[in-house]
Amino acid sequence: MGRRNNSRTFEIALSAISCAVAAGALALGLLSGWLVGTGYLIAVIALMLPLSKQFLWGGFLAYMATVILAVVLGAAVKFWDLVPFAMFFGLHPLMNFLQVRFKINRWLAFAIKAVWFDCTLVAGYFLIYELGGIALPEQVQAVIEGWRLYVIIFTAGTAVFLLYDYLIFKAQIGVNRLVYRIRK
């Protein structure tokens, strides 16, 4: 009974550390304006901590708490910058974990995640440029008018996602090794 209780305690502690680092990085990135990508990256890597010990429930709760805390810490002012993280980037490590755990075909999983990523890009475009009222330069607007926007997003987005997915899998391996060294 003591070992099981210790495991739950460790899950809670690891998830709490993960959430604190992720929420702090995300809030600082969103509030600074120019560190959004860095905040996303640190938050995604931090959310891998509970998953490195196979704590799926702890990883999911850390993701939910991270999004809530980021809103409370000031991201509510710029919620459109938080939407891609809430829709895709925060959940991506969980999906990779499930893919490996249930041995889902990597190409099938890649296709599903790539479409999910591309749809997140489309939603981000509409939130920032259509609803947010930010204007694109006229040369860019002329290129992406109509259906061309979707072609650009679904081709370039999928190419970028291929590299991103590969690097996130490698980052998860690094996080797994780090957490293994912390507690054997």
Which of the four pLDDT bands, split at 50, 70 and 90, describes residue 3? low
Q: Bigger pLDDT: 134 or 126?
A: 126
Q: Which tops the pLDDT comparison, 15 or 7?
A: 15
Task: Quote the pLDDT of residue 48.
Answer: 97
Rg, Å, the chain Cα set: 18
What is the pLDDT, as a whole number, of residue 147? 76
Q: Provide long-range contacts, Cβ within 8 A and 24+ apart, for 123-132.
A: 123/83, 123/84, 123/87, 124/80, 124/83, 124/84, 125/149, 125/153, 127/80, 127/83, 128/80, 131/80, 132/80
User: Over the stretch 24-38, which tens digit does the pLDDT of each residue have?
Assistant: 999 999 888 889 999
Say if residue 43's pLDDT is above 70: yes
Q: For residue range 82-111, what is the model confidence (pLDDT) as tens digits?
A: 889 999 999 999 999 999 999 999 999 999
Check residues 139 and 63 and name the one with the higher pLDDT: 63
pTM of the model: 0.89
Whether 2 has a pLDDT exceeding 70, the answer reads no
